[in-house]
């Protein structure tokens, strides 16, 4: 198929995504339920077979051909459900990756943005045919339950990619590409032909994380590509397989269309022999997308600052909840309990600190004590995680042993235990690594504990002197330590206004009174801006204008007539 025909094929999809970005209404190009009625009656079975066939073998025929020149394969992924994946991937040298990316970029950036966008949508549509394999790959590298893994790395992750494509497409067409410019000068005029060229900054390095290898990487990958940059994807060594599928489908699509597949490459390494800093510090890399922990994130930011590279970071912070008053405690606390339980809190958006006025919480016509609220929250967490049918899938498995160590460290703090953490059984995976939420009681004097991010199923209930004090503590924490979410339960409009002003001014988003089938740790593509870039949790937003426009420069060419 010609590129012009591809533009026609996918223009409606791109236009709908552009409109959704503008209007911020609900939009989902790919349905989220892993249903056979939607994706085909055998789609789940076929995806599982593809996953099983890939185990203990080099990754894909495409991967083998990609590494023949250097002949090196590495891989050390272990399923949190208790077995080694045994998959190996082509390990190319930094110099080889950079040379190939530089050579591929010239032709790619010469394409009109409409053609680049159509190529990328085509790759996503092809990749969507592998959603079930991607789901199993995500489940067995991150520990997410299958339904969550399918949704986060499939429809939701691909929607984030489409969102970035649409944002970059619209930005690059926001002004005329050329104009016959004339300036009246009395009896004559000066005429100049002006052209405006969008020039990509250079190679875009996308550094992935271990818990959301697709959802957190696709925005940077596709924002980099749609703006004309070549992209090198550096996944976490423990979670390569899911994003490798996405890169493979990108490369196959490019090659099928007569384009250089090295416009997008996969860079793999091991924990013992990392290459991230070598890639990051290479002078050909001009853009860096990073998602992951704050400590390494700071190193990335510092390295980019000193070298003049553009960097987009999405790290983590301390997410807070304030419970002031509720119309329906069961609905509200059931919602919060699910947020604490989902994927065992291994999300950068998961709540950690729960502030409750010591004077109590208004629930309808009653006043509940802190202890009553804590007991009801524990009751709802138990209902979610101990459910025989859905509990294991909700909690999932623990991606890293470091998270289990962190739970043990939290238990050793000596704080009163509201709810203890324990393993949950995963049928068919007796060796799985799991933990349910640990809820501790802390005080406002223990900020040395509570203002630290405790990644995983660890949270603190913190009584405060008043609602105003809780708001002040949250705003201070946002400014000093960052946050990606805040959640407030209140039936008082004045208090809500006060909280919104204080917390938004500090740089974090606010959610009020979530009590049904939407949770604070979820972020909807085309509508929610994930991250604000306004606090220490990260400098990027998925996906605002700056997320795409900072990846290129506009350079003018003037010819006088």
Q: What is the pLDDT of residue 208?
A: 97
Q: Residue 502: is the preceding peptide bond cis (ω within 30°)?
A: no
Q: Could you give the 3-state DSSP secondary structure of residue 366?
A: strand
C-alpha 253/C-alpha 9 separation (Å) is: 15
Going by C-alpha positions, the residue among 392, 396, 419 that lies closest to residue 407 is 419
Res. 463 pLDDT band, cuts 50 70 90: very high
Report the alpha-carbon distance of residue 410 to residue 417 in Å, rounded: 10
pLDDT at 233 over 60: yes
Contact 266, 235 (CB under 8 A): yes
pLDDT for the residue numbered 359: 96
135's enclosing H/E stretch is helix 131-142
* Burial (0-12, 13-18, 19+ Cβ within 10 Å), 190: exposed
CA dist list (Å): 476 to 109, 172, 454: 44, 38, 18
Look at residue 22 in the predicted model and tell me its pLDDT.
Answer: 97
Express each pLDDT in 387-417 by its tens digit.
999 999 999 999 999 999 999 999 999 999 9
Closest CA to 239 of 77, 364, 411: 77
- The predicted pLDDT at position 72 comes to 84
Residues 26-31: contacts with CB within 8 Å, 24+ apart? 26/524, 26/526, 26/527, 27/159, 27/525, 27/526, 27/527, 28/155, 28/159, 28/525, 28/526, 29/155, 29/158, 29/159, 29/162, 30/128, 30/131, 30/154, 30/155, 30/158, 30/159, 31/155
pLDDT band at 478 (very low <50, low <70, confident <90, very high): very high
- DSSP annotation of 465 reads S
Distances (CA, A) of 93 to 97, 141, 275: 6, 24, 9
In whole angstroms, what is the distance from residue 115 CA to residue 8 CA? Answer: 10
Please return the burial class of 362, using the count of CB atoms within 10 Å of its CB with bins 0-12, 13-18 and 19+.
middle
Confidence of residue 97 (pLDDT cuts 50, 70, 90): very high
The confidence score (pLDDT) of residue 181 equals 95
Question: How far is Cα 166 from Cα 145, in angstroms, rounded to an integer?
Answer: 30
CA 107 distance to own-chain centroid: 29
Query: Beta 310-314 vs 285-291: how paired, if at all?
Result: parallel
Unique residue bearing structure tokens 């503008």: 22
Question: Backbone dihedral region of 304: left (phi > 0), alpha (psi from -120 to 50 degrees) or beta?
Answer: alpha
Distance of CA 470 to the CA centre of its chain: 28
- pLDDT surpassing 70 at residue 142: yes
pLDDT of residue 36: 86
Q: Give the pair of three-digit tokens for residue 185.
A: 């000068």
Over residues 242-247, mean pLDDT? 98
pLDDT digits (tens, 9 = 90+) for 166-176: 999 999 999 99
CA distances from 82 to 72, 141, 205, 400 (A): 26, 10, 31, 12
315-357 pLDDT tens trace:
999 999 999 999 999 999 999 999 999 999 999 999 999 999 9
What's residue 64's pLDDT? 54
Indicate if the pLDDT at residue 256 is higher than 60: yes
Residues 77-82, mean pLDDT to the nearest whole number: 98
As a whole-number percent, the residues of the chain with pLDDT over 90 amount to: 95
Residue 378 has pLDDT above 70, yes or no: yes
pLDDT score of 438 more than 80: yes
Domains, the chain, with CATH or none: 3-26+36-185+192-315+540-560 (3.40.605.10), 320-512 (3.40.309.10)
SS3 content of the chain, % helix, strand, coil (to 5): 45, 20, 35
- Say whether pLDDT at 136 is over 90: yes
**pTM score of the predicted model:** 0.96
- How far apart are alpha carbons 472 and 282 in whole angstroms? 43
In this predicted structure, the answer to whether residue 70 has a pLDDT above a threshold of 80 is no
From residue 127, how far is each of 29, 169, 204, 228 by CA, in Å? Answer: 13, 20, 21, 21
Mean pLDDT within 366-381: 97
Q: How confident is the model at residue 1 (pLDDT cuts 50, 70, 90)?
A: confident
Look at residue 61 in the predicted model and tell me its pLDDT: 65
Strands 188-200 and 552-560: antiparallel
Specify the pLDDT at position 71: 66
Rounded to the nearest 10 degrees, what angle do helices 218-226 and 241-256 cross at? 20
Q: How far apart are CA 541 and CA 531, in angstroms?
A: 5
pLDDT digits (tens, 9 = 90+) for 280-298: 999 999 999 999 999 999 9
Q: Which residue do the tokens 């400590």 mark?
A: 295
CB 191 within 8 A of CB 61: no
Summarize pLDDT for 157-200 with one digit per residue, the tens: 999 999 999 999 999 999 999 999 999 998 889 999 999 999 99
Distance (Å, whole) CA 161 – CA 224: 11
User: Which of 395, 453, 447 lies closest to 424 in space, CA to CA?
Assistant: 395
485-508: pLDDT as tens digits: 999 999 999 999 999 999 999 999
> Kind of pairing, strands 353-357 and 458-464?
parallel
> What's the token pair of residue 217?
């990487």
Q: How far is CA 218 from CA 161, 234, 289, 469, in A?
A: 5, 12, 10, 39
Across the chain, mean pLDDT equals 95
Instruction: State the pLDDT confidence band at 60, using cuts at 50, 70 and 90.
Output: confident
Question: If we measure between CA atoms, which residue out of 151, 112, 114 comes closest to residue 14?
Answer: 114
């Amino acid at each position: 198929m010609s590129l012009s025909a591809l533009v026609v094929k996918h223009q409606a999809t791109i236009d709908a995504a552009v409109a959704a970005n503008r209007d911020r209404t609900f939009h989902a190009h790919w349905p989220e339920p892993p249903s056979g009625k939607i994706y085909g009656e055998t789609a789940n079975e076929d995806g599982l077979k593809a996953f099983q066939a890939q185990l203990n073998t080099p990754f894909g025929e495409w991967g083998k051909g990609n590494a023949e020149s250097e002949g090196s394969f590495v891989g050390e992924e272990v399923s949190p459900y208790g077995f080694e994946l045994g998959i190996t991937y082509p390990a190319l040298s930094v110099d080889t990756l950079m040379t190939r990316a530089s050579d591929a970029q010239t032709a790619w950036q010469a394409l009109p943005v409409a053609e680049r966008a159509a190529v990328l949508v085509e790759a996503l549509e092809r990749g969507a045919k592998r959603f079930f394999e991607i789901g199993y790959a995500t489940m067995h590298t991150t520990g997410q339950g299958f339904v969550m893994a399918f949704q986060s790395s499939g429809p939701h992750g691909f929607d984030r990619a489409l969102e970035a494509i649409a944002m970059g497409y619209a930005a690059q067409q926001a002004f005329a590409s050329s104009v016959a410019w004339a300036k009246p000068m009395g009896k004559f005029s000066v005429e100049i032909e002006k052209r405006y060229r969008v020039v990509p900054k250079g190679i875009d390095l996308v550094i992935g994380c271990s818990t959301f290898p697709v959802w957190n990487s696709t925005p940077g990958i596709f924002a980099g590509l749609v703006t004309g940059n070549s992209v090198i994807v550096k996944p976490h060594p423990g979670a390569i397989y899911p994003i490798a599928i996405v890169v493979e489908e990108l490369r196959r699509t490019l090659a099928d269309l007569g384009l250089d597949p090295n416009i997008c490459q996969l860079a793999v390494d091991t924990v013992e022999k990392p290459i991230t800093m070598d890639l990051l510090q290479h002078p050909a890399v001009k853009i860096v997308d990073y998602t992951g922990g704050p400590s390494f994130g700071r190193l990335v930011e510092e390295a980019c600052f000193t070298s003049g590279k553009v960097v987009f970071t999405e790290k983590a912070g301390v997410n807070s909840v304030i419970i002031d008053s509720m119309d329906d405690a069961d609905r509200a606390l059931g919602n919060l309990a699910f947020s604490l339980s989902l994927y065992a809190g291994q999300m950068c958006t998961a709540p950690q600190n729960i502030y409750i006025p010591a004077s109590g919480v208004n629930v309808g016509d009653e006043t509940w004590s802190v202890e009553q609220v804590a007991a009801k929250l524990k009751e709802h967490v138990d209902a979610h995680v101990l459910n025989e049918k859905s509990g294991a899938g909700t909690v999932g498995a623990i991606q890293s042993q470091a998270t289990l160590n962190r739970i043990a460290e939290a238990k050793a703090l000596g704080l009163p235990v509201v709810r203890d953490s324990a393993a949950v059984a995963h049928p068919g995976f007796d060796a799985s690594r799991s933990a349910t939420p640990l809820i501790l009681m802390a005080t406002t004097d223990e900020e040395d504990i509570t203002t630290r991010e405790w990644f995983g199923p660890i949270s603190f209930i913190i009584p405060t002197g008043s609602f105003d004090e809780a708001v002040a503590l949250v705003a201070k924490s946002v400014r000093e330590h960052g946050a990606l979410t805040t959640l407030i339960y209140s039936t008082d409009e004045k208090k809500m206004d006060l909280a919104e002003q204080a917390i938004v001014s500090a740089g974090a988003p606010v959610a009020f009174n979530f009590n049904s089938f939407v949770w604070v740790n979820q972020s909807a593509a085309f509508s929610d801006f994930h991250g604000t870039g306004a606090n220490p949790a990260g400098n990027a937003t998925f996906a605002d204008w700056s997320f795409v426009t900072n990846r290129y420069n506009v350079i003018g060419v003037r010819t006088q007539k």
